[in-house]
Amino acid sequence: MDAASYVNDDFRAAWEVFCMTENLGCLPFAGGWAEQPAWITTALFALKTEMWQADEEDRALKRREEEDRRKYGR
C-alpha cells in the first residue's frame, strides 16, 4: 500500500498532537491521561509504539554491526 494513502486529516491531527507532546513534554489537555480525549490517547499510544519499535530496530542493527566488527574486523 502506498504511504501517501495513510496521510489523511486524521493522521495529520494525530501527528500534530504527537509532535506537540514530544516537544513540550506535556499532554495537550489539563489533567492526566484520563482527562485526554480517547482519540488522543489512542494516537499517542500508536505513534509512541511505532517510535519505540523503530528505535529497537535501530539498536538491533547497531548491535549486529558491532558484533560483525568484533567477529570479522570490519
pTM for this prediction:
0.70
Element (H, E) at 16: helix 9-24
Rounded Cα gap, residues 64 and 50, in angstroms: 21
Angle, alpha carbons 24-5-15 (nearest 5°): 5
| Domain locations in the chain as residue ranges | 3-72
Q: How confident is the model at residue 74 (pLDDT cuts 50, 70, 90)?
A: low
Asked whether residue 1 carries a pLDDT value surpassing 80, the answer given is no
The per-residue pLDDT for range 22-72, each reduced to its tens digit, is 999 999 999 999 999 999 999 999 999 999 999 999 999 999 999 999 999
